[in-house]
Amino acid sequence: MQTTDRADTDWAEWAWAELTAMARRLLTGATVWAGATCTPRPAWLLVEDDHVAALGASDGDQEPPPADQVLDVTGCHILPGFVDVHLHLSQAAWFPLGGDASAWRGLADALHAVRVAAAAEPEAPWLRFWSVARWRWPEGRLPTARELDEAAPRRRVLVSTLDMHRGAVSSAALATLGLSDRGQGQAGDLGDDVTRDRRGRPTGELWEAAYGIALQRALTDAMAYAADAGAAAVLAAEANRCLALGISHAHDPYVSPDWHQRMVALRASSPLRLSWGTGSPAGLHSRAPGPAEAPDGPYGDAGREVKLFADGGDRCAIRLPSRALLGLLGGAAGESWRLRAVGPLREALRRKLVVRPQQLHTPYLRYTDAELASVIAAYVGAGVRPRIHALGNLAGEQTARALRRVGVPPGAATIDHLLLLDPATADQVAASGATVSYQPGFIPRYGQMLLGSRVDRYTTVLGGRLLLQAGVPLAISSDYPCGPLDPLHNLRVAVGRGSGPASQALQPDQALTPQEAVRALTVAAAASLHAPGGGGLAPGEAADLAVCDGDPFAPSTRVTQTWIAGKVAWRAPDGSGELPSTPTPG
């Protein structure tokens, strides 16, 4: 009867409040992915205060110890809490307040959406649009400033690609950013990161550092427009989104020094373990100014860290055999034929290539060898851990070389991505002692683009197996919002390597085992930050748990509870997280 609903709800809320306050809680009936190796086995798990007190086999001789409360989670799987070491929380938090451009099919859709937003939001400081899959457009390009001006006269507009390395802005935005001059001032300092027409005038297309400056300004203005309470609520909502997916620790690789205190406040108000890196106040992709400009630490639940970029996104630094030239051009031509438009071929011809007898490479390194070694040495000398973006194998090789030249100790640096890899580079990365944070969740989003470009014929794409075989410590991360946030999705893709609905697996020989994947998203990820969780679910380790309602590799399985430091930080609102049973006798 309906009259009992309120009473049932009140009792459930009381029961869970009591559960989070209990000192000793026993979880029974589950499959526990146990220890530093994340080995799944039927087991009970005793949590005492903030740590795992004991763990035993369900079918063994050892009886479970007494507890203040027993939680029956029969049929569930208990994993260590997910640790996402590359999640742009402070930026992604604002994406729901902008326009989702992922479904746009070309320029006409883009300009229509800009016109609609301009009419609907006359007071907004910026019109912001995210997640453009530009390679699916027949035009193969973003709108120009002139086209954006016609759609939204005198408005500041930012249209961002899915990878957050490239965007388009309106004339009003160019003026606000100080990028209107013909090769003068800041526009001149940014070089090729600002696209210009034949007369030297910016077209509105921005890359890398110039794009990062636009992104930072747009988000900073949005934060000011929301005021302090609104900004805090936006960040808190993003933290809660992480908790609902079983993420117990989120690491933001770049937070502007100007936003540092906001992250400190978020960490103090949320049960989520939270840490972050710093960089240039100008923007994500700008060169870091040196350790003297870095905020004092710690940075939440990890030590001080800085984000550096050895190459870019669309403009990544790769090295391929010379025979790849015809294959890459053939891939672009094939995509143009498929779309019945010249856009993909025109985009391919815009890329810089250096062709030599035995190899070709894209000259998109952001530092010289000496410059990269110097900036790494400066930060490491000040006790700041470097996290280095290297998407292509050429950038990965340069980064590994710089880390060895500086003498960075093993485990004291992280290389992000290594999307395109070869065995020699993997060996050099292993010799550097760095952890690699890679994103198998990219495969469904970018896999068809990579297959269409034919780059997979000449290099290893997201080579998790290659890195493990070389001896590289491997962490799985999301790079959200560039990749999917859901850890269960990313685990499944690491194992299945599916490049899209009903499509073939992308280089299936690079798949991880389920156990390797879980370890990379939990134990190895925590260890790379020197954060709680590096020992997995074992006595004395942090009681950070992701409780799933079934096998985490089954497509229908979802997270029903997230525990952090021995307390329930989140549970499924529909009551699928089982309520505790009667307390056991002491």
pLDDT in tens, 378-404: 999 999 999 999 999 999 999 999 999
Give the dihedral sign, CA 53/56/58/64: negative
Per-residue pLDDT tens digits for 464-493: 999 999 999 999 999 999 999 999 999 999
Is the CB of residue 106 less than 8 Å from the CB of residue 134? no
**pLDDT class for 61, splitting at 50, 70, 90?**
confident
**pLDDT class for 584, splitting at 50, 70, 90?**
very low
Nearest to 399 by CA among 417, 381, 423: 417
Return the axis-axis angle of helices 423-432 and 393-406, rounded to nearest 10°.
30
**pLDDT class for 279, splitting at 50, 70, 90?**
very high
Q: What whole-number distance in Å separates Cα of residue 560 and Cα of residue 209?
A: 40
Of 20-34, 151-165, 292-306, 377-391, which gets the smallest average pLDDT?
20-34
Beta strands in 328-422 (DSSP E): 354-355, 359-361, 385-390, 414-417, 420-421
Q: State yes or no: pLDDT of 6 exceeds 80.
A: no
Helix (H/G/I), strand (E/B), else coil: 550: coil
Q: What whole-number distance in Å separates Cα of residue 407 and Cα of residue 586?
A: 54
Nearest to 54 by CA among 73, 75, 31, 35: 35
Q: What's the pLDDT at 348?
A: 84
Q: State yes or no: pLDDT of 586 exceeds 70.
A: no
Q: State yes or no: pLDDT of 187 exceeds 50.
A: yes
**pLDDT class for 3, splitting at 50, 70, 90?**
very low
Q: What's the pLDDT at 579?
A: 43
Q: What's the pLDDT at 70?
A: 94
Instruction: Return the ∠ at Cα 339 (arms to 335 and 344), rounded to 5°.
Output: 45
Give the dihedral sign, CA 296/299/305/306: negative
Q: What's the pLDDT at 468?
A: 98
Q: What whole-number distance in Å separates Cα of residue 221 and Cα of residue 126?
A: 8
Helix (H/G/I), strand (E/B), else coil: 418: coil
**pLDDT class for 367, splitting at 50, 70, 90?**
very high
Share of the chain above pLDDT 70, in %: 92
Q: What whole-number distance in Å separates Cα of residue 36 and Cα of residue 54?
A: 15
Per-residue pLDDT tens digits for 346-366: 888 888 999 998 999 999 999
Per-residue pLDDT tens digits for 87-145: 999 999 999 999 999 999 999 999 999 999 999 999 999 999 999 998 889 998 999 99
Q: pLDDT: is 372 or 585 the higher one?
A: 372
Q: pLDDT: is 15 or 415 the higher one?
A: 415
Q: State yes or no: pLDDT of 323 exceeds 80.
A: yes
**pLDDT class for 573, splitting at 50, 70, 90?**
confident
Q: What whole-number distance in Å separates Cα of residue 532 and Cα of residue 235?
A: 23
Share of the chain above pLDDT 90, in %: 81
Q: What's the pLDDT at 501?
A: 63
Neighbours of 143 (CB within 10 A): 25
Helix (H/G/I), strand (E/B), else coil: 10: helix
Q: What's the pLDDT at 11?
A: 41
Within 83-154, residue ranges assigned H as helices are 89-92, 107-120, 145-151
Would you put residue 227 in left (φ > 0), alpha (ψ -120 to 50) or beta? Answer: left
Q: Which two tokens stand for residue 374?
A: 């110097």
Per-residue pLDDT tens digits for 531-570: 999 999 999 999 999 999 999 999 999 999 999 999 999 9
Q: State yes or no: pLDDT of 2 exceeds 90.
A: no
Q: What does pLDDT average to over the chain? A: 92
Q: State yes or no: pLDDT of 21 exceeds 90.
A: no
Domains for the chain: give ranges and CATH numbers. 20-80+535-571 (2.30.40.10), 91-220 (3.10.310.70), 235-309+368-446+460-494+510-528 (3.20.20.140), 319-360 (no CATH)
Q: What's the pLDDT at 585?
A: 36
Q: What's the pLDDT at 274?
A: 98
pLDDT mean over 206-214: 97
